[in-house]
């Protein structure tokens, strides 16, 4: 930002107060520092990017910004899909990528304490060395960080049985508006002393403070190999009926995922997997109940698939093939994004309404003349329609925006929510207002004002003024 005396003052103060904190300015600040992976979400210019290594450096950065009135946009790995990490004009981007240490693993108490920049899969590998397991597994687990996962309350493939990030956060440390570091929660499995501020920060998308340390609950990993059930369906709604049947029967598989033909074709085109089945949809279920219980659950899942009209369904006898199918599910979004811009939805409906939601997705796609691919954490009703941006012209982009908004409205009409795990960020602020009552929104604004009275943490995100979706940052 040329001729910016405040920026020069900010940079000088940061380097004086936190000399070990790397500070990027000018041409060192690239577009990659300024936005996440939300196609079309607007972003502004940052005065600087700070890359602290510990809590004391974060405190110094926040205190300096508070004194100068500079907005702060916390950032993890930038894998978000709602614009939550996008820079606002004149801000400081506080990136936690250098805070990447696993501080300790307590084998006896089954906990791990980490800095926010630890990558999800890296934590899993460390825990596995102790016979332990950290369950939350967003599709971006190979790149996304624990801090970002906590900030958005990320879910993932196995959350149908094992829950989302909030279910594993025992305690955290955060730097708040005046630069003070506070500890919330602790290391115990139970604790109800005072308001649940730990839970409040989980899912707050960087709007209340900067998370600098997290203590997580771990599980003991079952040694038995899981049982995988695969089903092919000629219609998406038939796959949805299978999901509803699984829920109605009271089954809780470790995973129940849907991948449609468009996604499988894109993955095969990219990775030459040979997995493209020619069916409209593929359902993948996994049982890790152990021993005979897993086999019994597998048979029950198979009955649900066949009863809903699967053209073919069976228990996989090849663990390599089963792992390849789940890997294809993880690769679906990046495979489609390789072809061109994709706007990713994240709606959730009651499991019994999954067939109807899939039908509505198809109807909205047809009426707007915009292709929509589908992947889903189907077992908990969390659907991720992938809206294919058909071209750069304004009319096409308006149709894409119309699909995005209609999908949120369809989910709300079915008793669902506009976001299950990606967060509100920039793109879903209007949807949040449609989902929430005026009284509920007033409570959220009151919390924001109480913890961030000057509105410097990630301003405009989640509760901020609405701005229409823009193609300006489409990738």
pLDDT one-digit tens code per residue, 431-475: 999 999 999 999 999 999 999 999 999 999 999 864 433 333 332
203 alpha carbon, distance to own chain's centre? 10
User: How far is it, in rounded angstroms, from Cα 130 to Cα 218?
Assistant: 11
H or E, element range at 358: helix 354-368
- Identify the pLDDT of residue 392: 81
Q: Do the Cβ atoms of 60 and 107 come closer than 8 Å?
A: no
Kindly indicate the confidence band of residue 278, based on its pLDDT and cuts at 50, 70 and 90.
confident
C-alpha to C-alpha distances, 99 to 56, 115, 286, 351, nearest whole angstrom? 12, 5, 34, 38
- Identify the pLDDT of residue 471: 36
93 alpha carbon, distance to own chain's centre? 20
| pLDDT above 70 (res 375) | yes
Helices (H) and strands (E) in the chain, counts: 14, 19
Kindly indicate the confidence band of residue 319, based on its pLDDT and cuts at 50, 70 and 90.
confident
**Counting beta carbons within 10 angstroms of the beta carbon of residue 195, is it exposed (0 to 12), middle (13 to 18) or buried (19 or more)?**
exposed
DSSP label at residue 284: E
Residue with tokens 């196995």: 158
DSSP label at residue 20: T
In order of their start, the domains of the chain are 5-98+453-473 (3.30.43.10), 102-220 (3.30.465.10), 227-413 (3.40.462.10)
Residues in the chain: 475
- Identify the pLDDT of residue 465: 65
- Identify the pLDDT of residue 469: 38
State the chain's mean pLDDT as an integer: 93
Tens digit of each residue's pLDDT (9 = 90 or more) over 59-72: 999 999 999 999 99
C-alpha to C-alpha distances, 278 to 197, 265, 281, 304, 332, nearest whole angstrom? 49, 9, 9, 21, 16
- Identify the pLDDT of residue 395: 84
Tens digit of each residue's pLDDT (9 = 90 or more) over 330-349: 999 999 999 999 999 999 99
- Identify the pLDDT of residue 396: 85
Phi, psi of 415 (to 5 degrees): 85, 25
DSSP label at residue 249: T
Query: Which of 319 and 408 is assigned the larger pLDDT?
Result: 408
Kindly indicate the confidence band of residue 1, based on its pLDDT and cuts at 50, 70 and 90.
low
| pLDDT above 80 (res 222) | no
| pLDDT above 80 (res 33) | yes
Q: Do the Cβ atoms of 269 and 335 come closer than 8 Å?
A: yes
- Residue ranges of alpha helices (H) inside 69-196 are 120-128, 146-152, 159-162
Phi, psi of 212 (to 5 degrees): -115, -10
Mean pLDDT across 94-98: 98
User: How far is it, in rounded angstroms, from Cα 298 to Cα 294?
Assistant: 6
């Amino acid at each position: 930002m040329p001729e910016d005396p405040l920026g020069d003052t900010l940079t000088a103060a940061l380097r004086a107060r936190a000399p070990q904190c790397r500070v990027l300015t000018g041409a060192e600040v690239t577009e990659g520092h300024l936005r996440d992976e939300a196609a079309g979400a607007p972003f502004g210019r940052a005065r600087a990017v700070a890359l602290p290594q510990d809590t004391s450096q974060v405190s110094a950065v926040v205190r300096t910004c508070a004194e100068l009135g500079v907005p702060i946009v916390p950032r993890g790995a930038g894998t978000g899909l709602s614009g939550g990490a996008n820079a606002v004009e004149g801000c400081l981007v506080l990136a936690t990528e250098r805070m990447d240490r696993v501080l300790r693993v307590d084998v006896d108490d089954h906990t791990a304490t980490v800095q926010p920049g630890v990558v999800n899969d890296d934590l899993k590998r460390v825990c596995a060395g102790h016979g332990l397991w950290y369950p939350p597994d967003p599709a971006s687990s190979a790149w996304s960080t624990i801090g970002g996962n906590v900030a958005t309350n990320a879910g993932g493939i196995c959350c149908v049985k094992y829950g989302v990030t909030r279910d594993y956060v025992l305690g955290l440390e955060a730097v708040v508006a005046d630069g003070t570091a506070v500890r919330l929660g602790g290391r115990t499995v139970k604790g109800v002393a005072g308001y649940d501020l730990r839970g409040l920060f989980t899912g707050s998308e960087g709007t209340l403070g900067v998370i600098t340390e997290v203590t997580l609950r771990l599980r003991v990993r079952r040694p038995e190999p899981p049982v995988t059930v695969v089903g092919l369906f000629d219609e998406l709604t038939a796959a949805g009926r299978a999901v509803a049947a699984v829920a109605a029967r009271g089954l809780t598989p470790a995973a129940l995922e849907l991948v449609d033909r468009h996604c499988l074709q894109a993955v095969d085109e990219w990775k030459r997997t040979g997995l493209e089945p020619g069916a409209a949809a593929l359902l993948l279920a996994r049982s890790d109940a152990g021993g005979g219980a897993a086999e019994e659950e597998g048979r029950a899942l198979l009955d649900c698939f066949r009863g809903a009209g699967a053209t073919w369904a069976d228990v996989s006898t090849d663990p390599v093939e089963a792992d390849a199918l789940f890997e294809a599910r993880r690769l679906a979004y990046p495979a489609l994004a390789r072809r061109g811009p994709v706007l990713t939805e994240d709606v959730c409906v009651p499991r019994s309404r999954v067939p109807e939601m899939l039908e509505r997705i198809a109807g909205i796609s047809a009426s707007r003349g915009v292709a929509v691919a589908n992947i889903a954490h189907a077992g908990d009703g969390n659907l991720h329609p992938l809206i294919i941006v058909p071209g750069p012209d304004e009319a096409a982009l308006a149709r894409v925006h119309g699909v995005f908004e209609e999908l949120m409205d369809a989910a709300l009409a079915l008793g669902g929510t506009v976001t299950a795990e990606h967060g509100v960020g920039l793109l879903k602020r209007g949807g949040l207002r449609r989902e929430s009552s005026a009284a509920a929104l007033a409570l959220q604004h009151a919390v924001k004002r109480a913890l961030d009275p000057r509105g410097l943490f990630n301003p405009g995100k989640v509760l901020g003024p609405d701005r229409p979706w823009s193609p300006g940052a489409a990738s």
